[in-house]
Amino acid sequence: MDTQPSIKINYLLGIATFIGLSVLNIAAWFLFFNPKGVMRLYTPMYGFSMVVILLAMVITVTDLFDCWPLRQKKGEKISPVQGMLLVVITLILTWVVMFGLFHNLIGKYGITYFSPSAIVATGETGTEIFNARENSSTALIYLFAAYIWIAIGWKTSFKRWPWNSENLATVGFSRLMTVSLLSVLAYSVLFHPHVGYLFSPPQKLAAVAPWWESMADTGSAYYHLGWVVCTVAILIMSESLWEGYPWRSIARKEGSLAGGIFTFLGSVITGFVMMLVMKKVMDFYWGAPFVGGQYLDAPYFRYLHAGEMAGFLILATFVVSIYLGNLLSGSSLIVRIMVRTVAVVIIASLLMWFYYAAGPLFLGTVPGIAQPEDTPLCWSFFMISFVLIHRYFFNAAPIQTQP
C-alpha cells in the first residue's frame, strides 16, 4: 500500500483537503449510518459489516488488482472519469458480496449464520430478525477483518512475489485466490469459534469452544480482532512512515518468500505486543478487568479498544503520509521516523478526541467509552475507505497536482 506522495505537499492545502474529505464523510455517515439520520443502518453491527466489506473491496481493487482493468500497467495515472467508475465498481462489489454472495447464497445454501433470513427460518431461540442480523453481521465483520489483514499483509510482505513478471490481471487474481484462502483459514481458527457460541444453544458440533478463553479471560473474538487491527497498523506505519524498516533489512524490493515470511510474522508479533502494551496502559488507568465485568471492566472491551485505537493510528498514518507529505525528507532516517511517528500519535489522539467528544453531535454516536451500541472502528474504517478512494481513484487531487 504505497501511500507516500511523490511530490512536495503544501501543508495548508493538504490539511484543507483532508478537512473537506472529512465533511463529505460526515455527510455520507448522516445519510447511511447516523442513528438520527436518513437510513440509520448503524445498529451497530449491521452498519459496521457494510463498512468493513466496503473497505475490503477498496483494498481488493487497490492493493490486490492495482486498479485493473482500468489501469493496464502499474504506475499509470487514473483519470477522474476512471476514478468515478472505480467508485461505482467498488460499491457494486460491496453490495454483491454482502447481499448476493453471503446473505443469499452462502448463508442460505451453506453456512446459516451468514444470512439473517436463514437464521430466522431455523425458528430457534432468540432468532428474531434484529438479533439474527446482528449475529450475521458480526460473522461478516470477523471474516472481512481477517481478509483485510491478510490482503494488506500479503501486499506489504510479499509484494508481487511469486508473480513478478506477470501482468496486473494475473497478479490480481492470483493474490485474490491466495488471500481468500488464507483469510478463510484465519477466520476458521480465530473467529468462527466465537460466532458458533453466539447462538442458543451453542453450535458445539460446528464450532469448538473458544480455545483462547483461559489466556484471554474472555471467549470473545475481540481478543483476536484487537491484535489483527494492531498488526495492520504496524504494517501500514512501517511502509508509510518508517520506509520499510525494520523488515527492509531482509525483504527485497520486488518481494521474496523469505522476506515475506519475515515481514508477515514480524508484524504479527509486533502487533500482538502493541495490543498487550495498550491493554497494560488501560489496566493501569481503569484498573484490572475481571471475568463478568461490564463496559470498561470487561476483558473483551480492553482488546477491542486496543483495536479501536489502532484504527485511529491507521487513519492518522494516512493523514501524515498523504496530506502532510510525510513531513520530512532530508533529515536522517531515525529523525524522519521519530518525527513522523510522534505526529501520527498526536493526530490519532486528536481523532480519538473528536470521535468521543464531538461524535455524539456530528456522527450521532452514543456518548462515552465502552458503549455496546458503539464502536469507533466503524467510523475510522469508513473514513479510511474515503481516504484510500481519494488517494488511489482520484490521485489525492488537488494536492497531488500541485507543482
Would you say residue 175 has pLDDT above 60?
Answer: yes
Query: What is the C-alpha to C-alpha distance for residues 162 and 237, in angstroms, rounded to an integer?
Result: 24
Q: How confident is the model at residue 340 (pLDDT cuts 50, 70, 90)?
A: very high
Q: Which range is least confidently modeled, 86-100, 116-130, 205-219?
A: 116-130
Residue-wise pLDDT tens digits, 288-331: 999 988 889 999 999 999 999 999 999 999 999 999 989 877 77
Would you say residue 389 has pLDDT above 60?
Answer: yes
C-alpha cell at 44: 451497530
Q: How confident is the model at residue 370 (pLDDT cuts 50, 70, 90)?
A: confident
Query: What is the C-alpha to C-alpha distance for residues 341 and 317, in angstroms, rounded to an integer?
Result: 8
User: Using an 8 Å Cβ cutoff, are 337 and 320 in contact?
Assistant: no
pLDDT at position 192: 96
* Dihedral angle over CA of 210, 211, 212, 213, nearest 10: 60
Residue-wise pLDDT tens digits, 192-221: 999 999 988 888 889 999 999 999 999 999
